[in-house]
Amino acid sequence: DPSFLPSRTFPLPLPFEIPHAGGDGDIALSGALRRPTPDLPPPPRRVLPLPLLLQPPAAEAAADRRRRRRLRRTPRRLLCKAADHVGDVEEQTWDEVVLGCETAVLVAFWAPWCGPCRLMHPIIADLAKAYAGRLRCLRVNTDENQEVASRYGIRSIPTILIFKDGERKETVIGAIADTALAATVDRFL
């Protein structure tokens, strides 16, 4: 129906000037959607610093430092037994605690600034209680133990590795529901 078509065109008000626009504010549609011509310099590129959100909060970092100092002062005897709590493992104790364990071991790679990692902590703690005596649950802070993370190709967190008899049997990347994680663990018990 031709009655819906405008009888004349009106210039568009522009808050800025477009170099390819023709005349007094009229914009040719093809010119507005066209890539910039080679005679125009490309837009400046900025390198942004690492966001502050990726930095560990000061309180958590201080608590981690205190915990590490306390662990260095206390004599430890490492036993490979499946406990009902989630323990922390470091580069120095990795081989003995994870690879030397006869029971199945679930290792969660995480970082203090990672929101999905913090969501997984209670799920893994519940698994440790439910499978006490059959499964050992451990955590590795990837910020503090980068060598272990790179050895196993950890590129995103949370990542969960399941070991049995010193061999990696399963890898789970990302946050996962408790029932799905329990089903994965059941395959190796």
Give the active site residues: 114, 117
Q: Which of 169, 170, 186 is nearest to 178 (CA)?
A: 186
Q: How far apart are CA 103 and CA 80, in angstroms?
A: 8
Instruction: Tell me how far apart the 2 most distant CA atoms of the chain are, in Å.
Output: 90
Residue 160's nearest CA partner among 105, 89, 82, 99 is 105
- Cα distances from 27 to residues 12, 13, 46, in angstroms, run 7, 10, 30
In 3D space, the residue among 118, 25, 33, 129 whose CA is nearest the CA of residue 86 turns out to be: 129
| Pick from 154, 163, 24, 58: nearest CA to 107 | 163
Cis peptide before 158 (omega within 30 of 0): yes
For residues 128 and 59, give the distance between their C-alpha atoms in angstroms, rounded to a whole number: 27
